Amino acid sequence: WLLVPMQQLVSWGAAGAMVFGGVVPYIPQYRDIRRTQNAEGFSTYVCLVLLVANILRILFWFGRHFESPLLWQSIIMIITMLLMLKLCTEVRVSNELNVKRRSFAAADSKDEEIKAPPRRSYLDFDLNYFWHWSKFTDYVQCVLTFTGVTGYITYLWLDSSLFVETLGFLAVFTEAMLGVPQLYRNYQNRSTEGMSIKMVLMWTSGDTFKTVYFILNQAPFQFSICGLLQVFVDIAILLQVYLYSHYPQKPVSHTAHPASTKAL
């Protein structure tokens, strides 16, 4: 008589972990950015990857219903990534203004022509500054545009099983590439400074749990394959943490860019 209630509790606990577990790794990173007022160590392309992946996953649900916890996980993750983007944008713009203010205070009359970095907008259509915009509203406009276009295409092709399966694969494959922007950023900097190690550890444990959950609950095969790939990328980032902390390397020299393009 205890077996059935225990099974229900375990099932509810697993579902709750799936819904909210994906958000937990970003809490320490969010707090670190707020505390230090420095977002340089966090790649905002992580937010881009997760926004695209979860929007596609929600659209995939309309063609092939999967478990509700996975659907709610996508909705909550989208909200979380928008909050991360809002914070990173505010911090980056604030730092740009502070740099300009310090330069002006230390400048002589010849240097008074120093101007603030140009304000980059979503409507500039400049690929060199894509996802480096100066206002949070530009990111929201981009996300809404992507959602509208992909939603309309999905509506037209919803009866095609090939399209639906491809959409599901793109959703989970994009999410599997989540750690790649951070992996590349660490490689560029030859350092993991500014990146929350707690976040990566939570990524690894969460992705491992998620992959096992997919396999045990017989989720669509795309979910299981890309879950394994995601775990491998997490392990690669942890190897970077070990390598760069025990064997510090000289940072790679980069071509000078405007202040607004420093962060990926």
Q: What is the DSSP string of 120-139?
A: P-GGG--GGGTT--S-HHHH
Residue 205: how many CB atoms within 10 A of its CB? Answer: 15
Supply the pLDDT for residue 52: 93
The per-residue pLDDT for range 103-137, each reduced to its tens digit, is 333 444 444 444 555 666 666 667 777 888 888 99
CA neighbor of 147 nearest in space, from 80, 233, 52, 225: 52
**CA–CA dist 157, 62 (Å, integer):** 11
Supply the pLDDT for residue 258: 37
Side chain identity, residue 2? L
Q: Are 26 and 80 in contact (CB under 8 A)?
A: yes
Q: Are 53 and 174 in contact (CB under 8 A)?
A: yes
pLDDT at residue 201 is higher than 60: yes
The per-residue pLDDT for range 163-187, each reduced to its tens digit, is 988 888 888 888 877 778 778 888 8
The token pair that represents 24 in the structure block: 């937990």
The token pair that represents 154 in the structure block: 């999905």
pLDDT band at 224 (very low <50, low <70, confident <90, very high): confident
Tell me what percent of the residues of the chain surpass a pLDDT of 90. 17
pLDDT band at 244 (very low <50, low <70, confident <90, very high): confident
The token pair that represents 124 in the structure block: 């500039």
Q: Are 74 and 58 in contact (CB under 8 A)?
A: yes
Span 202-207, average pLDDT? 81
> For the chain, what is the largest distance between any 2 Cα atoms, rounded to a whole number of angstroms?
84
The per-residue pLDDT for range 191-200, each reduced to its tens digit, is 877 777 877 8
Supply the pLDDT for residue 260: 33
The residue behind tokens 């809490």 is: 27
Supply the pLDDT for residue 116: 53
Q: 154 or 14: which carries more pLDDT confidence? A: 154
CA atoms within 13 A on the CB side of 264: 19
Residue 158: partners with Cβ closer than 8 Å, 6 or more residues away: 62, 63, 164
Q: Are 58 and 75 in contact (CB under 8 A)?
A: yes
Cα distances (angstroms) measured from residue 34 to each of 88, 183, 197: 9, 22, 16
Q: Of 34-38, 61-65, 71-75, 122-126, which range is least confident?
A: 122-126
The token pair that represents 23 in the structure block: 């958000």
pLDDT band at 73 (very low <50, low <70, confident <90, very high): confident
The residue behind tokens 């989540």 is: 178
Span 56-73, average pLDDT? 86
Q: In degrees to the nearest 10, what's the CA dihedral of 12, 174, 228, 202? A: -60
pLDDT at residue 56 is higher than 80: yes
pLDDT band at 102 (very low <50, low <70, confident <90, very high): very low
Cα distances (angstroms) measured from residue 213 to each of 12, 18, 113, 117, 245: 13, 9, 59, 47, 33
**φ/ψ (deg, to 5) at 113:** -85, 0
